Amino acid sequence: MTYQPMTAKEVTKKIFNKEPLFILDVRNTSDFEDWKVEGANFTHLNIPYFDLLDGVEEVLPKLPTDQDILVVCAKEGSSVMVADMLSEAERDVSYLQGGMKAWSEHLEPVRVGDLKDGGEIYQFVRIGKGCLSYMVISDGEAAVIDATRMTDVFLHFAKEKQATIKHVFDTHLHADHISGGRIIAKETGASYWLPPKDAAEVTFDYNKLEGGREVMIGSTAISIEALYSPGHTIGSTSFVVDNTYLLSGDILFIDSIGRPDLAGLADDWVGDLRETLYKRYRALSDELLVLPAHFMTVSELNEDGTVSEKLGKLFAENHGLNIKDEAVFRSVVSENLPPQPNAYQQIREVNMGKIIPDEEEQREMEIGPNRCAVR
Amino acid sequence: MAIQTNVTLDAIGLACPMPIVKTKKAMNAMEPGQVLEVLATDKGSKADLQAWAASSGHQYIGIIEEGSVLKHYLRKSNGEEETEKKHPYVISNEELVEKLQDSSVIIVDVREAAEYAFTHIPGAVSIPIGDLEKEASSLNKEAEIYVVCRTGNRSDLAAQQLAKQGFQHVINVVPGMSQWTGATESL
């Protein structure tokens, strides 16, 4: 038997198509429990590679014979070793090319829909980490929102679509991932926008993203309205694109809401978060399609791989939008919070321009899920 | 701090899984109770060596980071958890903490120097069990001497050995450093 690589893109397709896959994760147990490759019909077995150095006999009976088997580790090396041992034992297996490192960095562009005057909006699904970025394209121009540090993907995509990136936005100062916004702006000559209230300590020049502004993309009448909506961070801003799409940043997700504690001031910002979700968002049309900056589990993915839902449906079904009592709301979003994202303080400093780590250090900081939400 | 070890393994520049593959091989060639230093640059080795040590029964002593080099210290298992304690005089960790209020307590730490380097009771004297016979002469035979190790087994052997050499008041600390909650210091 032989073993072969399976790319992050191929695994992503299996997630979108809800295909079965058996994952033998050979990382140490704490890393596995912290973060893993998940799909609706994926099953997992975790046996650290260092417990398999003397042979894989004990694993063989635990491996299914009727579905694909993928061996996963941190950076590929150990999964290749284990895949090789399994193939020697006459089993047909694949290993995840580039390991969890590549998994964390894979972006899958998915088309969300049309704009009224012929443009399109795309969602870039960072499937391994649950981050969502956007590109609005109209008449040869493009805007990028909440870009990740894998900037080449955005640059190539715009080129393929023959669009020039004119504007780059971050809805807020991110704490879970390193923004690629400034680099994309620099490479393309686009304007970089950041809410000034989140930018008090930044070391670079930027355009002030403030409530009530409109920015044109293309010559057609496509506007991005910035809707000031503090809560996750004091400067958090949402966008309404083309009167159809609500880019809600880290304020509102499909099955959860933004946690207010990552910039250190949970208590102060709980009131803002409630005001945004229960008053400002209420004033918007139920027909808006909510496009958040994160998803938490693959169950939030639609059939086509997008993460989106009508605002009206979220008001009916999202638990975080249906807590009548303000004191209860306060306790839900400020007590018993999930663990904070890996290295979130350092990530904030990178996004402020205060520290400039090399690529390997940036990867290390971003290990793990995003953890920006509370349910 | 300088750490005394029996064997050093250079795994610098090696990617996972090689640091652990080589560590396992090096351990196999060592005597029980000996200390191995592993030099690695793979950041994954931090969590993996600890987890591997736990699953294979070896003791992970600690890590020192020097720039990009991670220096891991491990002690080969000698099955000490299974042996029966024989020295008749013992004291619990908690009772020893009480005694420490009184400044004249003599504590002899018989673990390897590398273990002592990472953490020990303030004022404890380091005499690894292998050196005890020749270094016992530096101790007062009439004094109360508390002998401590990680789990109470090496200190049990050490206490028996000291008693045989004529020491009058030797007391074994049980279980010892693995459960110690009192004050500690490191080199």
- Any residues with CB less than 8 A from the CB of A138 and at least 6 apart, and which? A115, A117, A118, A119, A120, A217, A218, A220, A222
Shortest distance, CA B1 to any CA of chain A (angstroms) = 27
Is residue A97 predicted with pLDDT exceeding 90?
Answer: yes
Q: Do the Cβ atoms of B39 and B32 come closer than 8 Å?
A: no
Residues A235 and A249 in one domain: yes
Number of CB pairs, chain A paired with chain B, less than 8 A apart: 43
Question: For residue B15, how many other CB atoms are within 10 A of its CB?
Answer: 17
The CATH number assigned to the domain holding A88 equals 3.40.250.10
Q: Read off the pLDDT of each residue in B139-149 and give the average, rounded to a whole number.
A: 93
A46 within 8 A of A27, measured Cβ to Cβ: yes
- Dihedral angle over CA of B41, B45, B47, B52, nearest 10: -160
Write the CATH number of the domain with boundaries B7-75. Answer: 3.30.110.40
Could you give the 3-state DSSP secondary structure of residue A62? helix
Regarding the domain with residue range B80-179, which homologous superfamily does it belong to in the CATH classification?
Rhodanese-like domain (3.40.250.10)
Which domain-ending residue is among A51, A73, A102? A102
A78 and B51 within 8 Å at the Cβ level: the answer is no
Residue A176: closest CA among A33, A331, A301, A293: A293
Give long-range contacts, CB 8 A cutoff, 24+ apart: A313-317: A314/A252, A314/A254, A314/A290, A315/A282, A315/A286
Active-site entry in A23, A73, A163, A241:
A73
Query: In total, how many domains does chain A have?
Result: 2
The region, left, alpha or beta by phi > 0 then psi within -120 to 50, assigned to residue A352 is alpha
* Residue A131 annotated among the catalytic residues of the structure: no
**Is residue A93 located within the same domain as residue A197?**
no
Residues A98, A110 within the same domain? no
A5 CB-side CA count, 13 A: 10
Tell me which residue has tokens 């191995």: B36
Q: Both A52 and A188 in a single domain?
A: no
Please judge whether B51 and A50 are an interchain contact, meaning their C-beta atoms are less than 8 angstroms apart. yes
Name the amino acid, one letter, at B89: Y
Task: Give the domain ranges of chain B.
Answer: 7-75, 80-179
Give per-residue pLDDT as tens, A10-24.
999 999 999 999 999
Residues A93 and A240 in one domain: no
Q: Is B65 exposed, middle or buried (0-12, 13-18, 19+ CB in 10 A)?
A: exposed
Range scoring the smallest mean pLDDT among A37-51, A79-93, A159-173, B89-103 = B89-103
Record: contact B51-A364, CB cut-off 8 A: no
The partner residue sitting opposite B17, judged by closest CB among A29, A31, A49, is A49
**Contact (Cβ atoms closer than 8 angstroms) between residue A344 and residue A173:** no
Chain B residue with CA closest to A367: the answer is B44
- Which residues does A351 contact at the CB level (< 8 Å), separation at least 6? A170, A173, A174, A175, A178, A179
B-contacting residues of A 39-98, CB under 8 Å?
Answer: 48-51, 53, 73-75, 77-78, 81
What CATH number is associated with residue A113?
A: 3.60.15.10
Q: Which residues pair with A168 in a beta bridge?
A: A144, A192
**Using alpha carbons only, what angle is made at residue A348 by residues A103 and A98, rounded to the nearest 5 degrees?**
15
Which structure tokens are listed for B107? 């504590």
B16 contacts on A by Cβ (under 8 Å)? 49, 73-75, 77-78
- A68 has a pLDDT exceeding 60: yes
Residue in A48, A78, A364 closest to B51 by CB: A48
Q: What would the mean pLDDT of A122-150 be, rounded to a whole number? A: 96
CA A26 to chain centre: 25
Helix (H) or strand (E) holding B155, with range, is helix B154-164
Predicted confidence at residue B166, as pLDDT, reads 93
* A chain contacts of residue B24, beta-carbon cutoff 8 Å: 50, 53
Domain boundary among A65, A83, A102: A102
Contact A49 B20 (CB under 8 A): yes
Whole-angstrom distance, CA of residue B33 vs CA of residue B58: 9
Q: Evaluate if residue B80 carries a pLDDT over 70.
A: no
- Same domain for A178 and A69? no
Encoded tokens for B99: 């005694």
Cβ distance B55 to A48 less than 8 Å, yes or no, reads: yes
In this prediction, residue A215 has a pLDDT band, given cuts at 50, 70 and 90, of: confident
Is A151 in the same domain as A294? Answer: yes
Contact A77 B52 (CB under 8 A): no
Closest Cα in chain A to B52: A50
Indicate yes or no: CB of B51 within 8 angstroms of CB of A73.
no
Host domain of residue A299: 106-374
The backbone torsions φ and ψ at residue A82, rounded to the nearest 5 degrees and listed phi first, read -70, -40
DSSP state of B79: -
pTM: 0.86
For residues A131 and A13, state if they share a domain. no
Residue B161 has pLDDT above 60, yes or no: yes
Closest Cα of chain A to B44: distance in Å? 8
Chain B contact probe: residue of A25, A26, A28 with most B CBs at under 10 A: A28
Identify the pLDDT of residue B81.
59
A60 and A139 in a common domain: no
The last residue of a domain, from among A102, A120, A142: A102
pLDDT score, position A222: 62
Whether the predicted pLDDT of A306 surpasses 90: yes
